[in-house]
Amino acid sequence: MLKMKNLFKTSFSKAGLTFIVSVILMAILRNPYYVGILIFLGINIIITIGLSLLMGYAGQISLGQAAFFGIGAYATGVLTTKLHMPIIFSFPLSLLLTVTVAFIIGIPTLRLKGHYLAMATLGLGEIVFIVFNELLTLTGGPSGFGNIPLIKIFGVELDSDYKYYIFVWAIVSLILFLSLNIINSRFGRALKAIHKAETESATLGINTFRLKLYIFVLSAGYASIAGFLYAHYITFLSPGTFSLGFSIVLVTMVAVGGMENIWGAIIGTTVLTVLPEYLRFFKDYDILIYGVILMTIMLLRPEGLYGIKIPLRKILSARN
């Protein structure tokens, strides 16, 4: 029993378990509508894990994360449709492009703190959004463009939601594995130190700026991967998806779940992705309800949903 417990503690088993649970969930649901929702959930989780590392572990905020999501999506979309590039090349290239953009704008941006950083990332996100709208020849402008090819792995075309679902969740698990390892590494501990006291860790000889930049670039990379998955699933892109509103929804997900913990981000993303699908009025008044949920959480439980004690054990033992 003790060994079992320790086994669950490794990031490999946590990520593996996440994958197994997701596959079992698909087998239970066997409904393309729900599976579709869970594909979106996986894509959102990839972005919010990155955002959670940035907000909760490095203490920095990005209100422009949708832009990196968009750059990843548009890059692979344009490369595969306009230049007919195979996906095996478009994926690394779109990732490289996003990461390079994040690195270049990260250098001046992450020198800013607090409100200035928030506003700068908001402005950057909005500029990228405007570019998507205005770069007609490449992006098709406000009406977007379609016919983005499906992904083919080892000769298998991911042409059904079920196949795509497994692909997406395998990547979610990989990202989770990578992120948990980062948190537990020396790098992760240094990040926490930044969050605790920026000035203190600077005197400890930790280069806080470089760490912040790495994590910013990493979170942009995650968003880019999510964008890649989104583009080849929906096969159609228009700027509306990557607006300022979506950046704010992402921050909301992380904050509602709990900024201090990666699992908090996953919980928040799950709640705010799945709930709207079940509640009809949620879809009509989504903005209002996001606002109410976010404000309520911030005022009553600023540490987020993560860690609220649900008597799970009692429920389970009662069943046994």
What's 22's DSSP letter?
A: H
Helix pair 11-29, 2-9: axis angle to 10 deg: 90
The reply on whether position 115 binds other proteins by CB under 8 A is yes
Q: For residue 30, report the phi and psi dihedrals to the nearest 5 degrees.
A: 40, 45
Q: Are residues 76 and 231 in contact, defined by beta-carbon separation less than 8 angstroms?
A: yes
Residues whose CB falls within 8 Å of the CB of residue 250, separated by 6 or more in sequence, listed in order: 44, 47, 48, 51, 65, 66
Tell which one of 6, 8, 20, 134 touches other proteins (CB under 8 A). 134
Q: Could you tell me the smallest distance in angstroms from the CB atom of residue 314 to other proteins?
A: 32
The reply on whether position 272 binds other proteins by CB under 8 A is no
Which one of 33-41, 204-212, 226-234, 279-287 is the stretch in contact with other proteins (CB under 8 A)? 279-287
User: Amino acid letter at 22?
Assistant: S
Q: Could you tell me the smallest distance in angstroms from the CB atom of residue 46 to other proteins?
A: 21
Using the minimum distance from each CB to other proteins, give the nearer residue, 60 or 179.
Answer: 60
What's 118's DSSP letter?
A: H
Using the minimum distance from each CB to other proteins, give the nearer residue, 164 or 216.
Answer: 216
Using the minimum distance from each CB to other proteins, give the nearer residue, 73 or 255.
Answer: 255
Using the minimum distance from each CB to other proteins, give the nearer residue, 86 or 307.
Answer: 307
Torsion 46-60-178-21 (CA) sign:
negative
The reply on whether position 289 binds other proteins by CB under 8 A is yes
- b/e per residue, 63-96, with b = 16+ CB within 10 A? bbbbbbbbbbbbbbbbbbbeeebebeebbeebbe
Residue keyed to tokens 């478009």: 90
Q: Could you tell me the smallest distance in angstroms from the CB atom of residue 284 to other proteins?
A: 9
Torsion 223-89-175-100 (CA) sign:
negative
Q: Which pair of structure tokens corresponds to residue 255?
A: 């904050």
Binding flags for other proteins, 299-318, as an x/- string (CB under 8 A): x--x----------------
The count of other CB atoms within 10 Å of the CB of residue 52 is 32
Cα distance between residue 292 and residue 17, in whole Å: 33
Q: Determine the longest span between alpha carbons in the chain, in angstroms.
A: 62
Binding flags for other proteins, 221-260, as an x/- string (CB under 8 A): -----------------------xx--x--xx--x---x-
Tell which one of 20, 83, 88, 119 touches other proteins (CB under 8 A). 119
The reply on whether position 199 binds other proteins by CB under 8 A is no
Q: Are residues 247 and 66 in contact, defined by beta-carbon separation less than 8 angstroms?
A: yes
The reply on whether position 39 binds other proteins by CB under 8 A is no
Residues whose CB falls within 8 Å of the CB of residue 246, separated by 6 or more in sequence, listed in order: 66, 69
Q: Could you tell me the smallest distance in angstroms from the CB atom of residue 220 to other proteins?
A: 17
Using the minimum distance from each CB to other proteins, give the nearer residue, 101 or 225.
Answer: 101
Binding flags for other proteins, 73-112, as an x/- string (CB under 8 A): -----------------------------------xx-xx
Q: Could you tell me the smallest distance in angstroms from the CB atom of residue 131 to other proteins?
A: 8
The reply on whether position 265 binds other proteins by CB under 8 A is no
Chain contacts with other proteins (rule: CB under 8 A): 55, 59, 61, 63, 108-109, 111-116, 118-120, 122-124, 126-127, 130-131, 133-134, 244-245, 248, 251-252, 255, 259, 285-292, 294-295, 298-299, 302
